[in-house]
A and B are shown apart, each in its own frame.
Chain A
Amino acid sequence: MVSPVLFWVVALLTVIPSLALLFARKAVHIAMSIVLVMVGLAAAYVGLGAPFLGVVQIVVYTGAVMMLFLFVLMLVGVDQRENLKETIKGQRWIAFFTAGGLAVLLIAVIGRVTIAPADEVVGDPEAIALVLFDRYVLVMEVLGMLLITAAIGALVMTHTPRLLPRKTQAELHAARVLAGADPVNKPMPGVFARHNALDVPALDPDGNPIEHSVSRVLEVRDQMSDGAEFRERLDSTANPEDHQRPHHAPSRESDQRAPRASEEDGK
């Protein structure tokens, strides 16, 4: 005899989440509720005297199969919208009636069945192994072949042949130079010895700012600095010593354009 409490717990734990298969919108929610169904079925197996199958159910279904489902779900994109427009008119009702009719038919047939009461058996791993490797050993071998075939089939199915030969590093480099890229690394942002923050463009040898030396992210966020505030600070804190110097080194103009003039004067 099976305890009624177990049956009703299993029934609620399997039927209610499996209804998500019909009514839930998001595929991830459906997958997680099916995981719940699998756990409920494992409990039912243990209650029905099949502890080995109960453990296998958890390991294979919740552990491997449903995680594989979730993995593929993430791979093809969770936000795959299911369009709810019916291509066949009234398909929804046809489906509901067909499934309901199937349920009624199955339950009616099951209701007429009588089975003579028999002794209880417990399918612990030892008992299962004795049957599996004795009477069903040939089936086991065939299943091994089936699994190998399935693995190779999956490999073949998801394999995409390479259309062009793989490019070597030298070819990649030649293509990059042809396209007009920098032959060397991009310059680092920041002005040497003056302001080396990341938000200020570097200066090229002529003293012009190199715009692309600043990270594009800062540019998009509008966080680039043109150095105005530092220039202002330099001007306002006019150091008396500055005036005594032959050329007060970093002048406002030297920051931006024509930088060398004053220095060359000094020399």
Chain B
Amino acid sequence: MNAMAFVYLAAILFSIGSAAVLLRRNAIVAFMGVELMLNAANLALVAFSRLHGQLDGQIMAFFVMVVAAAEVVVGLAIIIAVFRARQTISLDEPAELKG
């Protein structure tokens, strides 16, 4: 079986993650959708690394992991700050940005 199959799998996981971001109102669940999309991209990168026979794809996946870890720290800090300010983490609640 070709490593291309994993790229298809990555596409499906990415779509599920994006559906979660569009669908869910809970900020933490939507954030987990973002994580799933990042992981799908990682899977595609590793599969491409295998297909091309070069290590660069794996290095890129490693960088994505580091950036994702930093992003999780800041994102969860924002969620906690929002929760402190308005006692909810629903994404519909902060409607003040409406014009």
Contacts and interface: CB of A to CB of B under 8 A. Distances in A.
Do the two shown chains form a genuine complex with each other? Answer: yes
Interface of A: 1-4, 7, 10-11, 14-15, 18-19, 21-22, 27, 30-31, 34, 37-38, 41, 44-45, 48-50, 52-53, 56-57, 60-61, 64-65, 68-69, 72-73, 75-76, 80, 82-84, 87, 91-92, 94-96, 98-100, 102-103, 106-107, 110, 113, 115, 118-121, 123, 127-128, 131-132, 136, 139, 143, 146-147, 149-151, 153-154, 157-158, 160
Q: At the interface, is chain B mostly helix, strand, loop or mixed?
A: helix
Contacts of A160: 84
Contacts of A19: 16
A139 B62 CA distance: 11
A41 B1 CA distance: 17
Contacts of A154: 73-74, 76-77
Contact of B74 (A80, A106, A143, A153): A153
A186 B7 CA distance: 70
A76 B86 CA distance: 11
Interface in B51-78: 51-56, 58-59, 61-63, 65-74, 76-78
Interface in B1-52: 1-9, 11-20, 22-26, 28-29, 31-33, 35-36, 39, 42-43, 46-47, 49-52
Contact of A119 (B19, B53, B81): B53
Contacts of A75: 80, 83
A68 B76 contact: yes
Contacts of A37: 13, 36, 39
Contact of B11 (A1, A106, A136): A106
A95 B7 CA distance: 23
Given A68-B76, A102-B15, A150-B70, A31 B32 contact: yes
Contact of B79 (A64, A76, A107): A76
B80 A147 contact: no
Contact of A21 (B29, B49, B61): B29
Contacts of B18: 98-99, 102
Contact of A99 (B7, B22, B50, B53): B22
B92 A83 contact: yes
Contacts of B63: 136, 139, 143
Contact of B51 (A80, A92, A115, A158): A115
Contact of A146 (B9, B33, B66, B72): B66
Nearest to B81: A157
Given A34-B36, A44-B43, A110-B11, A150 B16 contact: no
A146 B68 CA distance: 11
B23 A22 contact: yes
